[in-house]
Structure 1
Amino acid sequence: MISFSSTQPTPAAQPPTASASASSAAGTSRLSHHHVNKLSSLSLPQLHQYSGRYRHGLRVRAIDAAQPYDCEAHLMNRFTQSTKLKIAIIGFGNFGQFLAKAFIRQGHTVYAHSRSNYLSVAQSMGAAFFSDLHDLCEQHPDVILICTSIISTESVLKSLPLQRLRRNTLFVDVLSVKEFPKNIFLQVRIGNEDSRLSRVENFLDIFKKEGCRMVEMTCAEHDKYAAGTQFITHTMGRILEKLQLDSTPINTKGYETLLDLVDNTASDSFDLYYGLFMYNKNAMEQLERLDLAFEALKKELFGHLHEILRKQLFGKAEEQGLRGPLLAKLPKNGAPFLPPGTPLENVGDGSN
Structure 2
Amino acid sequence: MEAKMSVGVYGMGRFGSFWAKELAKHGFSVVGYGRSAKTAPEGVRLGSEDEVLACSVLFFCVSISSFSEVLDRTSSRIADTTVVMDTCSVKLYPAKQMREKLPKQVQCIATHPMFGPDSGKNGVQGLPLVISAVRCEDSTLQFWVEEFKRWNLQVLQMSCDQHDREAAWSQGITHFIGRTLSELSLGDTELATTGYKTLLTVMQQTCNDPLQLFYDLQRYNPYARQMRMGLKGALDTVMDALKKQEEGR
Task: Return the TM-score normalized by structure 2.
Answer: 0.81
Secondary structure of the 1:214 match is strand
Label 1:293 to 1:195 Cα distance change in 2 as closer, same or farther (>3 A). Answer: closer
Alignment match of 2:152 (pick from 208, 211, 218): 211
> What is the aligned partner in structure 2 of residue 178 from structure 1?
91
> What is the aligned partner in structure 2 of residue 304 from structure 1?
245
Distance 2:44 2:144 in 1: 17
> What is the aligned partner in structure 1 of residue 52 from structure 2?
136
Residue 92 (str. 1) matches residue 6 (str. 2): no
* Structure 1 portions without partners, runs of 5+: 1-80, 311-352
Alignment check: 8 A CA contact 1:103 1:206 kept: no
Residue 150 (str. 1) matches residue 91 (str. 2): no
Residue 121 (str. 1) matches residue 62 (str. 2): no
Alignment check: 8 A CA contact 2:179 2:203 kept: yes
Distance 2:238 2:148 in 1: 42
Label 1:230 to 1:121 Cα distance change in 2 as closer, same or farther (>3 A). Answer: same
> What is the aligned partner in structure 1 of residue 3 from structure 2?
83
For residues 188-213 of structure 1, give each alpha carbon's deviation from its aligned partner in whole angstroms, at most 9, with x where no partner exists: 23316798443333333332112111
For residues 259-289 of structure 1, give each alpha carbon's deviation from its aligned partner in whole angstroms, at most 9, with x where no partner exists: 1111111111111011011111111111111
Identity percentage of aligned residues? 29
Label 1:195 to 1:241 Cα distance change in 2 as closer, same or farther (>3 A). Answer: closer
Q: CA deviation at 1:84?
A: 2.0
Q: CA deviation at 1:215?
A: 1.4
Alignment match of 1:167 (pick from 80, 90, 95): 80
> What is the aligned partner in structure 1 of residue 25 from structure 2?
105
Which is bigger in relative contact order (C-alpha 8 A, separation at least 6)? 2
Secondary structure of the 2:222 match is coil
Distance 1:87 1:273 in 2: 28
Distance 1:196 1:84 in 2: 19
Distance 1:192 1:133 in 2: 18
Alignment match of 1:283 (pick from 214, 219, 224): 224
Secondary structure of the 2:214 match is helix
Distance 1:225 1:264 in 2: 20
Secondary structure of the 1:176 match is coil
Distance 1:281 1:271 in 2: 17
Alignment match of 1:232 (pick from 163, 173, 181): 173
Distance 1:258 1:225 in 2: 21
For residues 162-220 of structure 1, give each alpha carbon's deviation from its aligned partner in whole angstroms, at most 9, with x where no partner exists: 34x32121110111111101111112233167984433333333321121111111111
Distance 2:136 2:234 in 1: 50
Alignment check: 8 A CA contact 1:88 1:111 kept: yes
Alignment check: 8 A CA contact 2:9 2:52 kept: no
Label 1:99 to 1:198 Cα distance change in 2 as closer, same or farther (>3 A). Answer: same
Tell me how many residue pairs correspond in the alignment: 221
User: Quick check: 206-215 or 188-197, which moved more?
Assistant: 188-197
Distance 1:171 1:258 in 2: 37
Structure with greater Cα Rg: 1
Task: Return the TM-score normalized by structure 1.
Answer: 0.58
Structure number with higher strand proportion: 2
Alignment check: 8 A CA contact 1:133 1:161 kept: no
Distance 2:222 2:15 in 1: 25
CA RMSD across the alignment: 2.2
Letter in 1 for 2:57: V
Distance 2:99 2:171 in 1: 26
Letter in 2 for 1:121: A
* Structure 2 portions without partners, runs of 5+: 108-134
Label 1:265 to 1:98 Cα distance change in 2 as closer, same or farther (>3 A). Answer: same
